[in-house]
Amino acid sequence: MFTMKLRKASAAAAAAIVLSITATACGGDGDSDSNSGSGGGDKIKIGIKYDQPGLGLKEPGGYSGFDVDVATYVAKELGYEPNQIEWVETKSADRENALARGDVKFIAATYSITDERKQKVDFAGPYLLAHQDLLVKTDSDITEATDLNGKNLCSVQGSTSAQNVKNDFAPKANLKENGTYSECLAGLQSGAVDALTTDDSILAGYAAQEQYKGKFKLAGLKLSNENYGIGVKKGDTETVNKINAALEKMVKEKAWDKAVTDNFGPANYKNEPAPKIGVIVK
The confidence score (pLDDT) of residue 211 equals: 87
The answer on pLDDT for 65 being more than 70 is: yes
pLDDT tens readout for residues 155-184? 988 677 888 898 999 999 999 999 888 899
Query: Across all residues in the chain, what is the average pLDDT?
Result: 86
Q: Strand pairing of 56-59 and 216-218?
A: unpaired
- Residue 6 forms part of a structural domain: no
Q: In which band, very low, low, confident or very high, does the pLDDT at 216 lie, cut at 50, 70 and 90?
A: very high
The answer on pLDDT for 81 being more than 90 is: yes
Same structural domain for residues 63 and 188? no
Q: How many domains does the chain have?
A: 2
127 closest CA partner among 11, 256, 268:
256
Count of Cβ atoms closer than 10 Å to residue 114 Cβ: 13
Q: How far apart are CA 14 and CA 2, in angstroms?
A: 18
Same structural domain for residues 125 and 137? no
Percent of the chain scoring above 70 in pLDDT: 85
pTM (2 decimals)?
0.79
Same structural domain for residues 122 and 137? no
Q: How far apart are CA 141 and CA 23, in angstroms?
A: 72
68 closest CA partner among 58, 60, 80:
58
In angstroms, the Cα distances linking 6 to 12, 14, 145 are 10, 12, 91
Domain containing 125: what range?
A: 44-129+226-267
Give pairs for 174-181: CB < 8 Å, separation 24+: 174/150, 176/152, 178/154, 180/51, 180/156, 181/156, 181/206
Same structural domain for residues 48 and 122? yes
Q: How far apart are CA 126 and CA 271, in angstroms?
A: 14
